[in-house]
């Protein structure tokens, strides 16, 4: 992924590729990436985040700033 690609572009691409695997949590404005296989997504600064789930429960989510990754319980993860 181009590091200058916007979050909305990434979201649109993921929705086209996996239309039932990307859900917006309206109350928080965060986006939950729900996938039964890991999806790698490159970010600015060369960092890479991994979105995956354990069992039927989404495991991680990314906010719209593409800066904060939280687990499903809302605990911030170290990037």
- Residue 74 above 60 pLDDT? no
Question: Rounded CA gap, 24 and 66, in Å?
Answer: 14
What confidence tens digit (pLDDT) does each residue in 18-49 have?
Answer: 544 555 555 555 555 554 444 545 444 554 44
Q: State what percent of residues in the chain have pLDDT above 90.
A: 0
Is residue 41 included in any domain, yes or no? Answer: yes
* Domain membership flag for residue 77: no
Q: Find the radius of gyration of the CA atoms of the chain.
A: 12
Q: Where are the alpha helices (DSSP H) in 1-79?
A: 7-17
Boundaries of domain holding 56? 7-70
**Domain-embedded: residue 38:** yes
pTM for this model (two decimals): 0.28
User: How many domains is the chain built from?
Assistant: 1
Say whether pLDDT at 73 is over 50: no
Task: Let me know if residue 78 belongs to a domain.
Answer: no
* 8 Å CB contact between 69 and 49: yes
For the segment 69-77, the average pLDDT, to the nearest whole number, is 47
Residue 40 maps to a domain: yes
pLDDT above 50 (res 2): no
Determine, yes or no, domain membership for 76. Answer: no
Return the pLDDT at 42: 47
Looking at the domain assignment, is residue 75 inside a domain? no
């Amino acid at each position: 992924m181009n590091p200058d690609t916007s979050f909305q572009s990434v979201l649109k691409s993921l929705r086209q590729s996996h239309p039932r695997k990307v859900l917006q949590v309206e109350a928080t404005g965060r986006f939950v990436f729900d996938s039964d296989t890991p999806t790698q997504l490159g970010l600015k600064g060369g960092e890479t985040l991994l979105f995956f789930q354990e069992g039927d429960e989404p495991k991680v989510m990314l906010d719209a700033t593409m800066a904060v990754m939280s687990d499903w319980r809302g605990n911030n993860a170290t990037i």
